[in-house]
Amino acid sequence: MKIQRKLLYVVTGLIMTGLFMVSYMSWFNYDNVSRIYNISVIINEDNDIFWKNRRKGMDQAAAEFQVDINFITLYSNNSAAQQEEFIKREIENGTEAIVVSPADSEALAEILDNLVSSVPVIVVDSGVPSSKVNAYISADNKKMGQEIAAEAASSWREGGTVYILTDNLRRYGMKERYDGVVTLLEERGILSTQISQNEEEQTKEWLENLLKTGEDCVIICLDEKDLVITAEILGQQSIESKINLYGIGVSNQIVYYLENGWIQGILAPDYFSLGYLSIEKAISVVKKETIAKSITVESIMVYPHTIYHRENAIKLFPIT
């Protein structure tokens, strides 16, 4: 009986201790204690002009989830080597997760595959064929390519050419856009030509030459940089050109050019949501929560006369 009684006391003590621990778990649970997460964002460009909306989304998420974001721009555009360097540096500095817009999808895949670290990686804008990627967040690039091509096709005139300005097809996202454009134009029997210039000056030069020809054509720019350069060139023309310009991407400058009629239509991805989600999902992975491997954000077609429509304005000019 004595032994039974002692056993009873021990069991009771254990149960009480367990209850005590559980009831005060939130005070011991590190995850529930308010703390700041460190996330690194590595983009593929040397400036963040075209990342304003994404940054607003990231800032909103940072305020909500208590995140300290280290936003890193490259020294030169689309340098996979620099991205690798920054990734390694951030991991060494103790970053808890990395959000990266790949400069070169396959190169980045190799970098990630060779990484020993298990830091969560969220990829945005362009996919990366690596098992180390925890999530891929982007607009539907192929669909966007098709949509913008459809717009371009609506203003294409018989005999004209559709020029597709691309920058970096090593990025899967760009490739998908391009494929989307080409596929649709081919379906409609429209001739298209890819123009790929490495340097801005080269692009300008090509445009000026095109203008000189007075060709009746349509230009599709698959990214913001080319779109801005092209719009500026077209806008500076004193004589109205016969060139219709469409593009994928959004920034205040692009909207300004759209409003001025230098661009006929833009396909604007919901960059705010993309930025917000990239941080939110990175935190989820840090907390060991399950997330979807691929998340798609919407995009909207905007024309000069629809810029200020309420549903467009809020996407084009996010409030934070």
Q: Site residues (CB under 8 A) for other proteins?
A: 12, 15-16, 19-20, 22-26, 56-57, 60, 251-253, 255-256, 259, 261, 270, 272-273, 276-277, 297-298, 304, 307-308, 310-311, 313-320
Residue whose token pair is 């005060």: 24
CB of 145 to other proteins, least distance (A): 22
Question: Measured between alpha carbons, how far is 67 from 19 in angstroms, rounded to an integer?
Answer: 33
Closer CB to other proteins, 74 or 255, in the complex: 255
CB of 130 to other proteins, least distance (A): 27
Closer CB to other proteins, 206 or 317, in the complex: 317
Closer CB to other proteins, 214 or 261, in the complex: 261
Residues in the chain: 320
Closer CB to other proteins, 12 or 76, in the complex: 12
CB of 294 to other proteins, least distance (A): 16
CB of 141 to other proteins, least distance (A): 18
> Could you give the strand order of the β-sheet that contains 192-196, starting from the edge strand earlier in sequence?
192-196, 161-166, 217-221, 243-248, 265-269, 299-302
Rg of the chain taking only CA atoms, in angstroms: 25
| Exposed / middle / buried, residue 223 (Cβ in 10 Å: 0-12, 13-18, 19+) | buried
Closer CB to other proteins, 62 or 316, in the complex: 316
| Numbers of helices and strands, H then E, in the chain | 12, 12
CB of 184 to other proteins, least distance (A): 26
Closer CB to other proteins, 154 or 260, in the complex: 260
**Helix locations, the chain, DSSP H:** 2-23, 25-28, 52-65, 80-92, 105-114, 141-155, 172-187, 200-213, 224-235, 252-259, 271-286, 310-316
Residue whose token pair is 């936003």: 71
Q: Tell me if 103 sits within 8 A of 92, measured CB to CB.
A: no
CB of 56 to other proteins, least distance (A): 8
